[in-house]
Amino acid sequence: MSATTAAVTEKSSVRPIEDYLSLSEQELYDRIQAAKQKLGDRVVILGHHYQRDDVVCHADFTGDSFKLAQQAATRPTADYIVFCGVHFMAESADILSGAHQQVILPDMAAGCSMADMAGIEQVESAWEQLQDLGITSMLPITYMNSAASIKAFCGRHDGVVCTSSNAVPLFDWALKQQEKLFFFPDEHLGRNTGVKFGIPLEQMAVWDPRLELGGNTPEKLRNARLILWKGFCSVHGRFQARHVDERRAEYPGIKVLVHPECRYEVVAKSDLNGSTEFIIKTIKDAPAGSQWAIGTELNLVNRLAKRHTDKFVTLLAPDLCMCATMFRIAPENLCWSLENLVAGQVVNQIKVDDETARWAVVALERMLAIQ
């Protein structure tokens, strides 16, 4: 959990989660629907694309993290925003929501390993080390999949937030402002975007926060146009170039479509790469009878296969799994959260402190003004 947020739970009269663990699937479904009906317009449920089917079926909105935070803002009458996603997503919803709205994460253990790879103290230390080398013409860019404190850091240092769909135009804007970019926390998205923008690999450096100068020589850092934080998605980072070769051998003529959080070698071998929304639209618009191997999260790929039965849709690597942290939010957690709200108890509230929120909004608004 980010140091800039607090989990607020009223201890008195809170129904224990243990009471929900023995309920059947049907009981959970019925009780969630009943709680939603009792709460009415006072609650809005957000479900990320990677969320499991038995949770996302209850969502009022589905989408990626930033889209969901924006959609929540279209429900100003809602007192409660229940975010079925991970911690940094709930932070973004709190930053963009009204002062009277409370954001709830059904399971506080639902974090993001990528976001956790870039802590604010580490980023500030790296920034100071680069400044000490005389590297001052540099602009920070953070991926949406980061803690609110990192977004605020970018806001304070004239930087910006990006998504996987708008990273290229934001790189274009940023390099017109400064000579170098410092991108975190996902090195793969940063590298793949840099390549699309025409930055050669030899002009990229990877910053490992565990090592002095990130594991680089001063010369390497001074010559780099793009400095990449050593972070990755635990799901997308597991796809390998051999998986592309194996799928092509298994299904001649199959199209390979991957998320840009995948390794550079995987993206280079693919036919198409793009954000989650791009992947969804590509499969929707693809001709009947076409074949697709998709390199992204399992729950989404399975949902696309069920939705588009006129096409063959399969996971790029059959031995890979779902996002484990997203999977922590189960119907039991959602039911527990909603029924406590019905009883007047707010559980697992995510609250970003005002100063962090103010600077994070600066970085987000800068993004929206550029894209």
pLDDT, tens digit, for every residue of 305-321? 999 999 999 999 988 77
Q: Are 5-111+325-358 and 118-231 the same fold in CATH?
A: yes
Work out the burial of residue 182: count CB atoms within 10 Å of its CB; fewer than 13 is exposed, 13-18 middle, 19 or more buried. Answer: buried
Gap between the Cα atoms of 364 and 337, Å rounded: 29
Query: What architecture does CATH give domain 5-111+325-358?
Result: 3-Layer(aba) Sandwich (3.40)
Q: Which helix (H) or strand (E) holds 8?
A: strand 5-8
Gap between the Cα atoms of 276 and 161, Å rounded: 17
Q: HSE, CB side, 13 Å, CA atoms: give it for residue 2.
A: 29
Gap between the Cα atoms of 260 and 274, Å rounded: 6
With beta carbons less than 8 A apart as the criterion, state whether 347 and 336 touch. Answer: yes
Work out the pLDDT band at 5, boundaries 50, 70, 90: low
Gap between the Cα atoms of 202 and 183, Å rounded: 16
Query: What architecture does CATH give domain 236-322?
Result: 3-Layer(aba) Sandwich (3.40)
Average pLDDT over residues 220-234: 96
Give the residue, 63 or 340, on which the prediction is more confident.
340
The confidence score (pLDDT) of residue 365 equals 92
Global confidence as pTM? 0.90
Average pLDDT over residues 217-231: 97
Reply yes or no on whether the pLDDT at 15 is more than 90. Answer: no
What are all long-range contacts of 253-258, with beta carbons under 8 Å and residues at least 24 apart? 253/291, 254/291, 254/292, 254/293, 254/312, 255/286, 255/290, 255/291, 255/292, 255/293, 256/292, 256/293, 256/295, 256/316, 257/282, 257/283, 257/292, 257/293, 257/294, 257/295, 258/294, 258/295, 258/296, 258/316
Domain assignments of the chain as residue spans, ordered by start: 5-111+325-358, 118-231, 236-322
The CATH classification of domain 118-231, taken from the options 3.90.1150.10, 3.40.1350.10, 3.40.50.10800, 3.20.20.70: 3.40.50.10800
Average pLDDT over residues 153-177: 93
The secondary structure of residue 274, as a DSSP letter, is -
Average pLDDT over residues 222-236: 96
Work out the pLDDT band at 371, boundaries 50, 70, 90: low
Shortest CA distance to 187 belongs to which of 92, 271, 69, 267?
Answer: 267
| The two three-digit tokens of residue 108, written as one number | 């506080």
Reply yes or no on whether the pLDDT at 204 is more than 90. Answer: yes
Average pLDDT over residues 5-30: 80
Torsion-angle region of 288 (φ positive above 0: left; ψ -120 to 50: alpha; else: beta):
beta
| The two three-digit tokens of residue 113, written as one number | 């390993």
Q: HSE, CB side, 13 Å, CA atoms: give it for residue 333.
A: 23
Reply yes or no on whether the pLDDT at 56 is more than 70. Answer: yes
pLDDT above 70 coverage of the chain, percent: 96
